[in-house]
Structure 1
Amino acid sequence: MSAPTDLPIESLLGEISETLRAEKRLVLAAPPGAGKTTRVPLALAGLIDGFQPLEGRILMLEPRRLAARMAADRMAATLGERTGGRIGLSTRIERKVSKDTVVEVITDGLFVRRLLADPALEGVACVIFDEIHERSLNVDLGLALAMEAQSVFREDLHVLAMSATLDTGKFAGVMGAPVIESEGRQFPVETKYLGRTRDRIEDQMAGAIEKAARAESGSILAFLPGAGEIRRTADRLSSLPANISVHPLFGALSPREQDDAVKPAPEGRRKIVLATDIAESALTIDGVHVVVDSGLARVPEFEPASGTSVLRTIRAARANVDQRRGRAGRLGPGVCYRLWDEEETRGLIAAPAPEILNADLSGLLLSLAEWGESDPARLTWLDAPPPGRIKAAREALLAYGALDETGNLTPRGKEMAKLPLDPKWASLIAAAENDGERALASEIAALASEAGIGGQSASLVDRLEGFRRDNGQRAKALKRQAERWSNGAKPSADAATFLARSWPGQIARRRDGSQTSYLLANGRAGELPADTALSKSDWLVVVDMVGAAGRARITLACPVSEADVLRISPPQTDEWAVFDPSTRSFKARRVKAVGKIVLSETPLPQPSGEVARDAFLVFVRENGLNEAGLGDAARPILARLKLLNGAFGEEWPPITEDQLIETVDEWLAPILGSKAFQFPSDGAASNAIRQSLGWPKAQEIEDLAPSSIELPSGRKAEVDYLSENAPLIEARAQELYGLTRQPAIAGGRVPVTLQLTSPAGRPIAVTKDISGFWSGGYWDMAKDMRAQYPKHDWPDDPAKAKPHVGMTKKRLKGGD
Structure 2
Amino acid sequence: MNYDRIQQQAGHLPAFQIADAINSTLKESANLVVTAPPGAGKSTVLPLTLLEATPQGRILMLEPRRLAARQIAERMASILGEPVGKTVGYRVRFENKVSSETRIEVLTEGILTRMLIHDATLEGVSAVIFDEFHERSINSDLALALTRQAQEIIRPDLKIIIMSATIDASAICEALQAPLIESEGRMFSVETVYSETDIARYDIYKEVAATILKAADRYEGDILAFLPGQSEILKCKEILDASLSRASAELSVTQVYPLYGNLPPEKQRLAIAPSCEGERKIVLATPIAETSLTIEGVRIVVDSGLCRKQVYDARTGLSHLETVTISKDMATQRKGRAGRVAEGICYRLWTQTSEHLMEDQRRPEIEEADLTSMVLDIAAFGENNPQSLLWLTPPPGSNLLNAKELLLSLEAIEPDGSITPLGRKMATLPCHPRIAKMMMSSESSALKALACDVAALLEEKDPMSDSEDSDMALRLSILRSQRQKNSLGRWARIAQIAQEYRRMLKVKEDNEPVDAEEVGRLIALAYPERIAMAIDNIGHFRMSNGKTIFIDSSDAMSAQQWLAIASLNVSAQPSGTNASTPLPSSGKAGRVFLSAPVNIIDLPTHEFDNISWDSKAGIIRMQRERRIGTLVVDSKPLQDADKQQIIHILCTAIRKEGLSMLDWNEDVQWLQRRVAKVREWHPEMELPDLSTAHLMETAGKWLPFYLDQGGKLKTSTAELRKLNLPEILWAQIPYEQQQEIDRLAPTHIVVPSGSHIRIDYRQGAEAPILSVRLQECFGMTQTPAVDDGRQPLLLELLSPGFKPVQLTQDLASFWQSTYFEVRKELKRRYPKHFWPENPLESEAVRGVKRKK
| TM-score by shorter chain over 0.5 | yes
Choose which of 392, 400, 404 in structure 2 pairs with 1:390: 400
Distance 2:14 2:311 in 1: 37
Choose which of 326, 350, 353 in structure 1 pairs with 2:360: 350
Choose which of 200, 204, 208 in structure 2 pairs with 1:201: 204
Residue equivalent to 1:459: 471
1:78 aligns with 2:116: no
Change (3 A) 1:292 1:502: closer
Residue equivalent to 1:732: none
Residue equivalent to 2:530: 506
Change (3 A) 1:597 1:204: farther
Residue equivalent to 1:495: 519
Distance 1:455 1:572 in 2: 39
Change (3 A) 1:578 1:183: farther
Q: Deviations over 1:76-114 (max 9, x none)?
A: 122222211211111111101111111111110011001
Residue equivalent to 1:707: none
Gaps of 5+ in 2: 572-586, 637-645, 657-695, 702-852
Residue equivalent to 2:641: none
Choose which of 438, 447, 455 in structure 2 pairs with 1:437: 447
The 5 A counterparts of 1:312-331 are 312-331=322-341
Change (3 A) 1:482 1:291: same
Change (3 A) 1:320 1:503: closer
1:521 aligns with 2:521: no
Q: Deviations over 1:599-655 (max 9, x none)?
A: 7999x99966779999xxxxxxxxxxxxxxxxxxxxxxxxxxxxxxxxxxxxxxxxx
Distance 1:281 1:160 in 2: 18
Identity of aligned residues (%): 38
Query: In the alignment, is the contact (CA less than 8 A) between 1:291 and 1:327 conserved in 2?
Result: yes
Change (3 A) 1:26 1:61: same
Choose which of 32, 35, 43 in structure 2 pairs with 1:37: 43
Alpha-carbon offset, residue 564 of structure 1: 4.2
Change (3 A) 1:430 1:601: closer
1:574 aligns with 2:610: yes
Residue equivalent to 1:715: none
Residue equivalent to 2:412: 402
Q: Deviations over 1:719-744 (max 9, x none)?
A: xxxxxxxxxxxxxxxxxxxxxxxxxx
Residue equivalent to 2:219: 216
Change (3 A) 1:568 1:397: closer
1:55 aligns with 2:56: yes
Alpha-carbon offset, residue 377 of structure 1: 2.3
Query: In the alignment, is the contact (CA less than 8 A) between 2:145 and 2:390 conserved in 1?
Result: yes
1:65 aligns with 2:96: no
Change (3 A) 1:435 1:587: farther
Query: In the alignment, is the contact (CA less than 8 A) between 1:454 and 1:467 conserved in 2?
Result: no
Change (3 A) 1:152 1:397: same
Residue equivalent to 2:164: 163
Distance 1:398 1:72 in 2: 40
Residue equivalent to 1:251: 261
The 5 A counterparts of 1:109-508 are 109-194=110-195, 195-198=197-200, 200-237=203-240, 238-240=242-244, 241=247, 242-452=252-462, 458-468=470-480, 469-470=482-483, 474-475=493-494, 477-489=496-508, 494-500=518-524, 503-508=527-532
Alpha-carbon offset, residue 295 of structure 1: 0.7
Residue equivalent to 1:725: none
RMSD: 3.4
Alpha-carbon offset, residue 673 of structure 1: 7.8
Residue equivalent to 1:27: 33
1:540 aligns with 2:572: no
Find the residue that maps to 2:319 and give its secondary structure: strand
Residue equivalent to 1:595: 629
Q: Deviations over 1:530-577 (max 9, x none)?
A: 76443343432112334558364433221235x647x75478663579
Change (3 A) 1:528 1:72: farther
Query: In the alignment, is the contact (CA less than 8 A) between 2:220 and 2:299 conserved in 1?
Result: yes
User: What amino acid is aligned across from residue 513 of structure 1 in structure 2?
Assistant: N
User: What amino acid is aligned across from residue 461 of structure 1 in structure 2?
Assistant: A
Alpha-carbon offset, residue 358 of structure 1: 0.5
Alpha-carbon offset, residue 488 of structure 1: 2.1
Q: TM-score, normalised by structure 2?
A: 0.66
Alpha-carbon offset, residue 259 of structure 1: 0.9
Query: In the alignment, is the contact (CA less than 8 A) between 1:587 and 1:606 conserved in 2?
Result: no
Q: TM-score, normalised by structure 1?
A: 0.69
Query: In the alignment, is the contact (CA less than 8 A) between 2:609 and 2:622 conserved in 1?
Result: yes
User: What amino acid is aligned across from residue 574 of structure 1 in structure 2?
Assistant: N
Change (3 A) 1:485 1:522: farther
Change (3 A) 1:159 1:511: same
Alpha-carbon offset, residue 225 of structure 1: 0.9
Find the residue that maps to 1:200 and give its secondary structure: helix
Distance 1:410 1:76 in 2: 42
Residue equivalent to 1:558: 596
Residue equivalent to 1:105: 106
Distance 2:232 2:542 in 1: 30
Alpha-carbon offset, residue 124 of structure 1: 0.9
Distance 2:536 2:507 in 1: 44
Distance 1:81 1:309 in 2: 43
Distance 1:613 1:426 in 2: 45
Find the residue that maps to 2:566 and give its secondary structure: strand
Distance 1:362 1:66 in 2: 26
Tell me whether 492-501 or 92-101 shows the greater mean CA deviation.
Answer: 492-501
1:11 aligns with 2:17: yes
Residue equivalent to 2:844: none
Change (3 A) 1:100 1:600: closer
Instruction: Kindly name which structure, 1 or 2, has the bigger radius of gyration based on alpha carbons.
Output: 2
Alpha-carbon offset, residue 209 of structure 1: 1.7
Change (3 A) 1:477 1:309: same
Distance 1:100 1:613 in 2: 74
Find the residue that maps to 1:3 and give its secondary structure: helix
Gaps of 5+ in 1: 47-51, 580-585, 615-671, 678-816
Find the residue that maps to 1:306 and give its secondary structure: coil
Change (3 A) 1:166 1:571: closer
Alpha-carbon offset, residue 396 of structure 1: 0.6
Alpha-carbon offset, residue 497 of structure 1: 3.7
Change (3 A) 1:178 1:501: closer
Q: Deviations over 1:179-207 (max 9, x none)?
A: 11112111111111112244611222222
Change (3 A) 1:451 1:513: same
Query: In the alignment, is the contact (CA less than 8 A) between 1:290 and 1:336 conserved in 2?
Result: yes
Distance 1:72 1:311 in 2: 30
Change (3 A) 1:477 1:122: farther
Distance 2:614 2:157 in 1: 59
Change (3 A) 1:346 1:435: same
Find the residue that maps to 1:347 and give its secondary structure: coil
Find the residue that maps to 1:45 and give its secondary structure: helix
Alpha-carbon offset, residue 480 of structure 1: 3.3
Residue equivalent to 2:818: none
Change (3 A) 1:408 1:530: same
Distance 1:177 1:578 in 2: 65
Change (3 A) 1:611 1:312: farther
Find the residue that maps to 2:409 and give its secondary structure: helix
Query: In the alignment, is the contact (CA less than 8 A) between 2:136 and 2:365 conserved in 1?
Result: yes
User: What amino acid is aligned across from residue 530 of structure 2 in structure 1?
Assistant: Q
Find the residue that maps to 2:345 and give its secondary structure: strand
Distance 2:267 2:654 in 1: 57
Query: In the alignment, is the contact (CA less than 8 A) between 1:21 and 1:158 conserved in 2?
Result: no
Distance 2:109 2:376 in 1: 16
User: What amino acid is aligned across from residue 217 of structure 2 in structure 1?
Assistant: R
